[in-house]
Structure 1
Amino acid sequence: MRMTLLKALGTSALISLGATTAMATECIAPADAGGGWDFTCRQIGKLLYDLKLVPNPVQVTNMAGAGGGLAYANVVNERNTDADLIVAASSATTTRLAQNAYGGATADQVRWVGTIGGDPGVIVVAKDSPFQTLSDLVEAIKADPSKVTFAGGSAAGGFDHLKPLMIMKAAGFTDARSVKYIGLNGGAEAITQTIGGFTQAMTGDISEITGFIRSGDVRALAILTPERVAGFEDIPTAKEQGYDVVVVNWRGLYVPKGISDDAFNAWATKLQAVADSAEWKAVMEANGLAPFTLVGADFQGWIDGVVADTTVLSREIGVIQ
């Protein structure tokens, strides 16, 4: 029923938006102007044209609704073979797909082109916390999960909630429901709870807490990237501490599933060219993004794994059945 509704909404949205310029690339931002998906379309779209990777300026279409579900339904049901269409996506997209938030839609109904930057996940504690390392925190949870509560800026089952669950799973801990988490209205409120001693740790993205780290109000126990991040070289990764977990709020693109392999590979090549450009590196530095590049088949395989892992964790904590 929900997918039927989304299909109807997607059709009406397409009619109201009108036809796009022939042969011009369109980038759908599945939200209103000003958000992360809008940023992705506008910045990548601008560089695609500036670097002469597409012949015409990229048209950005804002298609808000259903947390990205409206745009997803529109692409799947109405634009399945449009090789001139790209769509902004992030970790929120795959989390919602894994949790069946798009009314039966699945991640294999589109093709995932790539990600070229992201906001690294972090686990932080207050400056006077007894936990000095990530292992200290993990072992405390294993000993008595009731003694450690995480604060995060997403609802229960959301992206922030999943970060500590992934770490605990990598540590061999299987009782995900016993890991305590409080979802708050954004990272600022979550970090305030941890600084104030109301929670023992905060799970979020580094852009939310950069000021708190630099002021010394909190200590970051781990950054959830493959390698240490420039500007935060003193924060160890979870991987180097023995927990094979990479959690980045990535920024990237998907395209309709029905386009040809040649068209898909062409988009992957173009996105890689954007990632390699000095202009994109300047955009990342100006907006607090860290390098995180996976394109083409590598990204598609990574997405498959992320969705599968998120589905398992979401079942374990009761978000989905």
Structure 2
Amino acid sequence: MKNLLSTLTLAIGMVAGGQALANDYPNKSIEVIVPFSAGGGNDTFVRALQPLLEEQLGETLVIRNIAGGGGAVGLSRGVASAADGYTMMAASTGMLSLEAMGNVPFTHEDFDFIAKVVEEPYLLAVSSESPYQTVDSLIEAASSGSVRVGVSGIGSSAHITANAIANITSSNFNLIPYPGGSEAISAVMGGHVEAVVLGGAELRSGLEAGRLNALATTYAERSDNLPDVPTFQESGYDLTISVWRGLVGPQGLPDDVKEQWVAAIQQIVEDGSYEETANNLGTELAPLYGDELDVFIDESAAIMLEAAGDLAK
């Protein structure tokens, strides 16, 4: 009996101790892995959120850029970390494109999704000096001959989206991957490619300067940030893909930890403290949490897998 009581006491103590640790979260700095280099869309997204999240969570966020493999290196490092809430990751459409291409040791089910915070459309864009100033004129040219289209990286979400555009419009696109979006933009401005497919935030400065013209967006409806740019849907093409950005942890986060992160982001979204910054970055607030987020991620993964088509292994 004495041994039984000792065992029960130890077990209860371990449970209580674990609960105390969860309730005490966070009690030290939190690492947030950005799986891309500093200055990119994922990096600026997280750094803009950083002071707001620190205020809500009451702890320091240490942002760590781990680039390589189109995001695969950083995400692989993060997903293998302890699921204690002290290693989180910036997430985006790109993680689903990696999964669709079949060249990473993880799927979206290996992550605990905290929130989708912002979205932006992909754009099919050309130089302002291009002879193709409508999506129909570019597609017509691509039906009779090859049109060079720049994208950011082999197997990137932009690459997969451009492939989907080519397939759904029956266009003969010669897809040319560049190391990043800035190189692809330089290529279209310099006449080395006829068009690019990139996220709206990456193209924002070129559009505002009048050096680029967006022919169509991949949103279902026109973007609030780009109200004059038609959608592919308007031209009769059933294509809807977005660039989303959010935060994730490794699968198995304690409920209390997950709830604190969700509550922090909800407060930031609801009090309007991030909205102006999001718009200035060329993105739009589009928050999702919980079951709705899980459904969105499952559907997005399926869309990306279909869009990858013959690009996937």
Give the structure-2-normalised TM-score.
0.75
Query: Do 1:28 and 1:71's aligned partners in 2 also have CA atoms closer than 8 Å?
Result: no
Tell me, in whole angstroms, the C-alpha distance in 1 between the residues paired with 2:303 and 2:295. Answer: 13
Shift of 1:281: 0.9
> Partner of 1:29 in structure 2?
33
Task: Give the secondary-structure state (helix, strand or coil) at the position aligned to 2:207.
Answer: helix
How many Å apart are 1:66 and its aligned residue?
4.5
Mapping of 1:140-179 within 5 angstroms?
140-141=141-142, 143-144=143-144, 146-152=145-151, 154-171=152-169, 173=170, 179=173
Equivalent residue for 2:286? Answer: 292
Match of 1:121? 122
Q: 3-state DSSP class of the match of 1:232? A: coil
Counterparts of 1:194-209 in structure 2, within 5 Å, are 194-209=188-203
How far 1:234 sits from its partner (Å)? 1.2
Instruction: Look up the SS of the partner of 2:102 in the other structure.
Output: coil
Q: Matches of residues 183-194 of structure 1 in structure 2 within 5 Å?
A: 183-194=177-188
1:182 aligns with 2:151: no
Residue identity in the other structure for 1:201: A
In the other structure, the counterpart of 2:97 is: 95
Gaps of 5+ in 1: 1-20
Query: 1:64: which partner in 2?
Result: 66
Asked whether the 8 Å contact 1:29–1:38 carries over to 2, the reply is no
Q: CA deviation at 1:150?
A: 0.7
Change (3 A) 1:293 1:222: farther
> Which residue identity lines up with residue 75 of structure 2 in the other structure?
Y
Q: Which of 202, 210, 217 lines up with 2:211 in the alignment? A: 217
Once the two structures are TM-superposed, the CA of residue 149 in structure 1 deviates from its matched residue by 1.6
Check 1:83–1:245 CA distance in 2 against 1; reply closer, same or farther (3 A cut). same
SS in 2 for 1:222: strand
Give CA-to-partner distance per residue, 1:44-70, whole Å, 9 cap, x none: 3421343x4x2x224325262544445
Q: Find the counterpart in structure 2 of residue 11 from structure 1.
A: none
Residues 120 and 290 in structure 1, CA contact (< 8 A), matched pair in contact too: no
Give 1:47's aligned residue.
Answer: 52
| Conservation of the 8 A alpha-carbon contact between 2:27 and 2:59 | no
- What is the TM-score with the length of structure 1 in the denominator? 0.74
Quick check: 232-241 or 185-194, which moved more?
A: 185-194
1:216–1:287 distance in 2 versus 1, CA, 3 Å? closer
Query: Cα RMSD between the aligned structures?
Result: 3.3
> Take 2:260 and 2:26, find their aligned partners in 1: how far apart are those partners?
18
The answer as to whether partners of 2:119 and 2:242 remain within 8 angstroms in 1 is yes
Larger Rg: 2
Deviation at 1:122, TM superposition (A): 1.0
Aligned length: 288
**Ranges in structure 2 where 5+ consecutive residues have no aligned partner:** 1-24
Distance 1:38 1:188 in 2: 15
8 Å Cα contact 2:29-2:86 kept in structure 1: yes
Secondary structure, counterpart of 2:115 in structure 1 = strand
2:82 to 79, 88, 100: 79
- On the 8 A contact 1:30/1:70 being kept in 2, the answer is no
**Structure 2 vs 1, CA of residues 23 and 240 (structure 1 numbering), >3 Å: closer, same or farther?**
farther
2:19 corresponds to which residue?
Answer: none
**SS of the residue aligned with 2:154?**
coil
